[in-house]
């Protein structure tokens, strides 16, 4: 990535907030916390110049537009920088978890124009973490999920030698059986899209705030499956709040592994064989349930 020598996190914060900067400290990776002259703190994220910052900004705005979950305000973005409010963090609590569950259900109910729909103003070529993710629309969730969320990452994992061709056949069979495995038809939901616990911030204001989305139109159970994949504090209470607002099908938990195929294969592409083995285990379990 080539960035002008005049650019820096502090310069980006000043440009997008219109306030002088009084201090800055690095956080992790590409993140810097910048303090403004009025005492507020913002987070500046360095993009890679390939549209990641703009995609994330569009996703944050789309989620915030629903008026449901807590989302840090976006001050500005360009090809290299994203500037958002800093979330003052507190402690995870059961009460905040129940509220988050209700808010997440309301976010999903805000809907999307189609499965695979990108946020307004967001690029079709987006990202999930460090992996590219194409937002291509479809009207049928099983075929769209197979074609645009599972198989692209399976092919990359096979090409890299992370998944063997014979092993890949198990995932391909799940894709063929998705019409039977998908459960009751659902309208396109407004998804965070990368809802693992690291993107769930427990705010000092007593509510949950979400960061770093891979937002798109999808199946609401995909976000819930992602929460379960890496664990989340008070997950049972989150689900209680969710079901209070939007009941789930009785057998929804049986489909968690199907929805986890997407993030597991993304992780297999990025981080290797351990995640590929988890994806294969999920695929084989789904096939056993299918009979």
The three state secondary structure string of the chain is CCCCCCCCHHHHHHHHHCCCEEEEEECCCCEEEEEECCCCEEEEEECCCCCHHHHHHHHHHHHHHCCCCECCCEEEECCCEEEEECCCECCCCHHHHHHHHHHHHHHHHHCCCCECCCCCCCCCEEEECCEEEECCCECCHHHHHHHHHHHHHHHHHHHCCCCCHHHHHHHHHHHHHHHHHCCCCCCCEEECCCCCHHHEEEECCCCEEECCCCCEEECHHHHHHHHHHCCCCCHHHHHHHHHHHCCCCCCHHHHHHHHHHHHHHHHHHHHCHHHHHHHHHHHHHHHHHHC
Q: Is the pLDDT of residue 51 over 70?
A: yes
- Cβ-contact 150, 265 below 8 angstroms: yes
What six digits make up the tokens of 270? 């990025």
Q: What is the pLDDT of residues 232-256, one digit of tens each?
A: 999 999 999 999 999 999 999 999 9
Lowest mean pLDDT among 3-7, 172-176, 226-230, 234-238: 3-7
Q: Is the pLDDT of residue 5 over 90?
A: no
Q: Is the pLDDT of residue 6 over 60?
A: no
CATH number of 9-85: 3.40.630.10, 3.30.450.90, 3.30.200.20, 3.40.50.2000?
3.30.200.20
The reply to whether 9-85 and 94-290 are identical in fold is: no
Q: What does the domain layout of the chain look like in residue ranges? A: 9-85, 94-290
Lowest mean pLDDT among 41-55, 61-75, 264-278: 41-55
Q: What percent of the chain has pLDDT over 90?
A: 91
Lowest mean pLDDT among 22-26, 49-53, 54-58, 124-128: 49-53
What is the mean predicted confidence (pLDDT) over 191-211? Answer: 97
Q: Rounded to whole angstroms, how far apart are CA atoms 123 and 191?
A: 16
Q: Is the pLDDT of residue 4 over 50?
A: no
Q: Which of 85, 103, 159, 194 is catalytic?
A: 194
| Annotation marks residue 194 as catalytic | yes
Task: Centre a 10 Å sphere on the Cβ of residue 182 and count the other Cβ atoms it contains.
Answer: 19
Q: What is the pLDDT of residues 11-50, one digit of tens each?
A: 999 999 999 999 999 998 889 999 999 999 999 999 876 7
- Predicted model pTM: 0.94
Q: What is the pLDDT of residues 128-149, one digit of tens each?
A: 989 999 999 999 999 999 999 9
Q: What is the CATH number of domain 94-290?
A: 3.90.1200.10
* Dihedral-angle region of residue 187 (phi above 0 means left; psi in -120 to 50 means alpha; beta otherwise): beta
Q: Rounded to whole angstroms, how far apart are CA atoms 274 and 276?
A: 5
Nearest to 181 by CA among 265, 280, 283, 109: 283
């Amino acid at each position: 990535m080539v960035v002008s020598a005049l650019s820096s996190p502090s310069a980006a914060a000043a440009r997008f907030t219109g306030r002088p900067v009084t201090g800055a400290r690095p956080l992790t990776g590409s993140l810097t916390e910048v303090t403004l002259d009025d005492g507020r703190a913002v987070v500046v994220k360095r993009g890679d110049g390939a549209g990641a910052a703009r995609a994330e900004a569009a996703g944050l705005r789309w989620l915030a537009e629903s008026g449901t979950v807590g989302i840090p305000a976006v001050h500005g973005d360009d090809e290299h920088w994203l500037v958002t409010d800093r979330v003052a963090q507190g402690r995870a609590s059961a009460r905040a978890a129940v509220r988050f569950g209700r808010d997440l259900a309301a976010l999903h109910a805000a809907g999307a124009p189609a499965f695979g729909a990108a946020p307004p103003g967001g690029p079709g070529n987006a990202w999930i973490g460090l992996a590219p993710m194409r937002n291509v629309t479809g009207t049928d969730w099983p075929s769209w999920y197979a074609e645009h969320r599972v198989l692209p990452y399976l092919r990359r994992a096979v090409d890299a030698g992370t998944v063997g061709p014979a092993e890949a056949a198990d995932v391909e069979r799940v894709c063929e059986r998705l019409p039977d495995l998908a459960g009751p038809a659902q309208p396109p939901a407004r998804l965070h899209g990368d809802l693992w616990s690291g993107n769930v911030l427990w705010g000092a204001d007593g509510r949950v705030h979400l960061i770093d989305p891979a937002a798109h139109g999808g199946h609401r159970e995909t976000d819930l499956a992602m929460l379960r994949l890496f664990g989340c504090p008070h997950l049972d209470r989150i689900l209680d709040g969710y079901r209070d607002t939007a009941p789930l099908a009785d057998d929804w938990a049986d489909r968690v592994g199907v929805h986890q195929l997407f993030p597991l294969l993304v992780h297999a592409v990025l981080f290797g064989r351990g995640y590929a083995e988890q994806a294969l285990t999920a695929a084989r379990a789904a096939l056993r349930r299918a009979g």
